[in-house]
Structure 1
Amino acid sequence: MSTNVAITVRESSDVGAARRAAAALSRALDLDSTIAGQAAIVVTEAATNLVKHGGGGVILLNRIGAPDSPVMEILALDKGPGMHSVERSMEDGYSTAGSPGNGLGAIARLSSFHDIYSSPGLGTVVLAHLGSPPAGPRRPAPSRFQVGAVSVPKGVEPVCGDAWVTEAREHGLRVIVVDGLGHGMGAFEASKAALEIAAAHSRDMALPLMERIHAGLRATRGAAVSVAEIDLELGSVTYAGLGNVAGSLISPGGLRRQMISYNGTAGHNAHKIRELNYPWAPDTILVIHSDGLATHWTLDKYPGLHRRHPSIIAGILFRDFQRGTDDATVVVVRFAGGTQEDRL
């Protein structure tokens, strides 16, 4: 888990701030000078596009990947007019703003992975990964899941009171999202404590783990917690939720099935803690979010979004449904393929 660095980009002077933030993250990740330079170019191009084409927006920077092979994730979000043809806009020299028109093409060439979602009237989201996994025997096996997340603190708070983590399981994946009560340092400490308990009891299933977290958070201000266990062998999701962290399963047609969380606050008030089972199909998408997002969101109006990378989906949910009054976290998971022998 990690918290995004968010840079608001409204005018040309903000492009430099985004570039400096990317340089600082490159140093923190100890990226080599070539990748750090590429990251600076990608962020500059993405932020410039926000100003020229999107009417302003937000750059989100994050660390993903294994500890020994960190990757910088860059998300550029805007609510501008969107693009009629992403493919045409990727061509060097194509521009609708009188600029050289090399931005999206440069982002694609310099990134180890990239994805773009845009639709007329629905704005644009650009995703780029900068960094490479280790070569040879240290190279990780292909993942069976794709995971995308956005986690941003409220306003100018120095820490985020939400936290999240994914963990490989024998037949699938565990996803935990925690929302510490309120925001600021007290919420951060509660969420951190919940994930420490989960790490210490990683063999527990969803219900006993929730009971441990509830007991272990009594010395904190408490938290809302959701635990989801995806089991590919059984074709199911086991879900235990306490408080206002919400979980949903999305079908390819956009049908949203909300999973049940019970009222209460882990560490303080839990009249009932239960786990429930839901069917999981290979084309299902799991979404879990804190109450920093409005609950009545839908993906129906975004054609083709279901096929995009989970970070794109998380970015759009954050962009269009954040409340702005609290920390906001959304985690999106989809099956990426592979066999039971593949390592997550």
Structure 2
Amino acid sequence: MFCIPITEHSQVAAARRAAIHLARQAGLNDTDTGRAALVATEAATNLVKHASSGQLLMRSLDGAGIELLALDRGPGMRFIGECLRDGYSTTGSLGIGLGAITRLAAMWDIYSVPGKGTALLAWVREGQRSGALPAPESGRVPTLEIGAICWPMPGEDVSGDAWACELRPGRGLLVVADGLGHGPGAAEAAQLAVQVVRAHPTGEPTALLGLMHGALRHTRGAAVAVVEVDLGRQQVTFAGVGNIAGTLITAAKPHPFISQNGIVGHHVRKIQAVNAPWTAEAILILHSDGLAGRWNLGAYPGLNTRHASLIAGVLYRDFTRGRDDVTVLVVKQQSGSR
């Protein structure tokens, strides 16, 4: 993942170069790499023009493609539809930046609140363009939508956090791990926990935590949460050790999950799973302690209807502590399959 701070025009070029590098790593051809570069350029330019400062986050998607997420705390947009129209500008420019992004992207979504800022999401995928977030369709097999941000603490080159998801028809298996401390040693422990899930994609959360406890014995250990979302049974199963926070948000109220005390790889008294009902409108949020726990999704009207990546981005923007590795993982039922 790249996280490019955008505070002035010279950093737009850095964002463009990072997008090109990531697109080539993701296997995109020259045409699609060019689209990625243009999307990054327009998004970064908008941050400078309209928000004065912000961040552009980029990561590879499974398969050929990259995700770009532009975050700011600027003035926001009162009329998003107008802002998408070519020729509309509040700064005297040509007013084609946001419209160009929506035409170039395979999928895009946006969340903006006047006075609080904007989050813009765009995917660039091989051979795909001009695709807004799909409208709900009836009769589709339910699938899960994933949004994630994982970034090291300031001054570190690698994050001591890690996350992964294994998606199968009707089921999702998710893990967030926070290695003890920071730097390469923490990253080793967190990555080993993730590798256990990768190696056992059909495993159950408690069994997987047991396997991790053995695999991490020679490391400094980690806090880990493993979650299974079973769409067929409409059930969430959570098992955690340490300080990974998990919250299931439904129409009724937020339901926090409780992890057991301990450090995976060193001392774990017991591993216990907790079940909760899953609904089509539910949102699952997992995060490490690099994110402050005082967030309230209800304070962001309409955000629960947006893409999972936008939810993760807004929480990261507004609640990252800035002195620790941070991971935010958001899971919801895909917009087109509710």
Shared topology, TM-score over 0.5?
yes
Segments of structure 2 that go 5 or more residues without pairing to the other structure are: 129-139
Q: CA deviation at 1:337?
A: 6.9
Change (3 A) 1:338 1:61: closer
TM-score, normalisation: structure 1? 0.91
Between the two proteins, what is the percent identity of the paired residues?
48
Letter in 2 for 1:160: S
Instruction: Provide the rounded CA distance (Å) in 1 between the counterparts of 2:314 and 2:336.
Output: 27
Deviations 1:86-137 (A, max 9, x none): 1111111111111111111000000010001001122000100001379xxx
Amino acid at match of 2:244: V
Aligned residue runs from structure 1 range 317-336, under 5 A: 317-336=315-334
Say yes or no: does 1:38 pair with 2:32: no
- For 1:275, the aligned partner's letter is A
Deviations 1:199-256 (A, max 9, x none): 3333321111111111221100100100111111221101001111111111257x32
Shift of 1:165: 0.9
CA positional deviation for 1:279: 1.0
Figure out how many residues of one structure are paired with residues of the other and give that number: 326
Paired residue type of 2:183 = G
Q: Which residue of 2 aligns with 1:138?
A: none
The equivalences for 1:151-190 within 5 A come to 151-169=150-168, 171-190=170-189
2:300 corresponds to which residue? 302
- Separation of aligned partners in 1, 2:204 and 2:51: 45
Please point out which of 69, 75, 78 is paired with 2:72. Answer: 78
Partner of 1:270: 268
TM (norm. structure 2) is: 0.92
The alpha-carbon distance between structure 1 residues 150 and 88, as it changes in their structure 2 partners (threshold 3 A), is same
Partner of 1:61: 58
Report if the CA contact (8 A) 1:125-1:316 is conserved.
Answer: yes
Partner of 1:211: 210
Query: What is aligned with 2:118?
Result: 124
Amino acid at match of 1:5: F
Task: After TM superposition, list the pairs within 5 Å mapping 1:275-290 onto structure 2.
Answer: 275-290=273-288
Q: Secondary structure at the match of 1:80?
A: coil
CA contact (8 A) 2:142 2:231 kept: no
In the alignment, the residues of structure 2 paired with residue 230 and residue 277 of structure 1 have an alpha-carbon distance, to the nearest angstrom, of 10
Q: What is the aligned-residue RMSD (CA, Å)?
A: 1.8
Whether the 8 Å CA contact 2:142–2:170 is kept in 1: the answer is no
1:137 is aligned to: none
One-letter amino acid of the structure 2 residue matched with residue 51 of structure 1: V
**Alpha carbons of 1:48 and 1:231: their partners in 2 closer, same or farther (altered >3 Å)?**
same
Q: Which residue of 2 aligns with 1:342?
A: none
Aligned partner of 2:280: which letter?
P
Amino acid aligned to 1:297: W
1:247-281 deviation per Cα after TM superposition (whole angstroms, max 9, x unaligned): 1111257x321111112111112122211111111
Q: 1:133 to 1:110 in 2, by over 3 A?
A: closer
**2:247 — aligned with what?**
248
CA distance in 1, matches of 2:154, 2:172: 32
How far has the Cα of 1:169 moved from its partner? Answer: 4.2
Provide structure 1 residue ranges, at least 5 long, that are not aligned to the other structure. 135-140, 340-344
Q: Which amino acid aligns with 2:59?
A: N
The CA deviation at 1:52 is 0.9
Deviation of residue 322 (structure 1)? Answer: 0.3
Is the aligned partner of 1:110 residue 2:104?
Answer: yes
Distance in structure 2 (CA, Å) of the matches to 1:81 and 1:164 = 33
Matched residue SS, 2:225: strand
For 1:142 and 1:165, how far apart are their aligned partners in 2? 22
